[in-house]
Amino acid sequence: MPDKPDRPDTAIDRRTICRIGLGGVCWSALPPVLAWSQTDPASMPPQKDDVLVKVDDAASKPLTLADIPGGAQYVSAWPMAPDGKIVRGGTRLNTLLLIRVDPKTLTGATQADSADGVIAYSGLCPHAGCDLTTWIPEESRLSCDCHSSEFDVRASGKVLDGPSSRPLPHLALKLSGDRLVVAKPFSAAIRFDE
């Protein structure tokens, strides 16, 4: 596995890396821009056996159970091809949120599709495509700042409030050793009501 897989420009840019100061690493080491395309491997939807990497990890280290802390924290991630060569951050449609809860509290499809309590949800609200950034663990809610759609994390992303007409899609995970690996495609197409 190469040390530095291809990461398209939409994953994160030079300014960000420098700004948030990841050990002084800047984006200059990264490859040129890749176009958005469904045939471009960086823009393909998550594939079975893909691993997951943090969006702001320039080293693109595959995530393990231990990397998902649980509680009030969540991890923003991209899928990455199993050979480690391509981070699928070429389209924001692949944005993932990894949340860890007690597996015994999960219901429905989320229970079967989690990996020891780690659930991978689409990071984009199905209403208007905003990034979901507010996680309220005590209420099991993922909330969208833009129009206040709220989703039940423990119950397959069921709509709890707000304008979204559809549940939040999730991605089935499995464990390969301690690595988090994609088991199945998204539970529903990533598209928006608006």
Partner 1 sequence: MKTLALAVTLLLTSWWVSAQQPAAPVMAPLPDILESYREVTTARLKKPEPENWLQIRGTYNGWGYSPLEQITAKNVKQLQVAWVFSTGAGSAHEAAPLVNNGVMYVSAPGNQVIAIDAKTGVQLWRYRREIPAGAIVMHPVSRGVALFGDKVYFASNAAVLVALDAKTGKEVWTATVEDNKQGYYLSGAPVVADGKVMVGVSGGEWGIRGFVAAYDVETGREAWRAFTIPGPGEPGHETWPAGDEWKTGGGPTWVSGNYDPETNLLYWGVGNGGPWMGDLRPGDNLYISSTIAIDAATGKIVGHFQYDPNESFDWDEVSPPLLIDYQRNGKTISGLVNVARDGYMFFLERTKGPIRFVSANPYVLQTAFKGIDPKTGRVEYDPEHKPTVGKTVEFCPMWVGAKNWQPAAFNPKTRLIYIPTSANLCSAMTGTKPDYLPGKTYTGGRNVLSIAPGADHIGETAAWNVDTGKKAWSYDFANSTNWGGVLATASGLVFSGGTADRMFRALDAATGQLLWQAPTNSGVMGQPSTFAIDGKQYVAVMSGWGGDARGVQAQLNRLRPGQFPEVPDGGAIWVFTLP
Where does this chain bind partner 1 (CB under 8 A)? 9-10, 12-13, 15-16, 19-20, 36, 38, 43, 55-56, 76, 91-93, 95, 127-131, 133-134, 136, 143, 145-149, 161-163, 193-194
> How far apart are alpha carbons 144 and 147 in whole angstroms?
6
Token pair in block for residue 74: 């969540």
Report the amino acid identity of residue 165.
S
**Of 83 and 145, CB closest to partner 1:** 145
- Closest separation in Å from C-beta 111 to partner 1: 27
Q: What are the helix (H) ranges across the chain?
A: 14-20, 108-113
Residue with tokens 């989320």: 110
**Of 50 and 150, CB closest to partner 1:** 150
- Closest separation in Å from C-beta 68 to partner 1: 17
**Of 105 and 134, CB closest to partner 1:** 134
Asked if 18 contacts 42 with a C-beta cutoff of 8 angstroms, the reply is no
Residue with tokens 């994609």: 182
> How far apart are alpha carbons 103 and 1 in whole angstroms?
32
**Of 117 and 163, CB closest to partner 1:** 163
- Closest separation in Å from C-beta 148 to partner 1: 6
Phi, psi for residue 104 in degrees, rounded to 5: -70, -15
- Closest separation in Å from C-beta 79 to partner 1: 14
- Closest separation in Å from C-beta 64 to partner 1: 22
Maximum pairwise Cα distance, the chain: 45
**Of 95 and 114, CB closest to partner 1:** 95
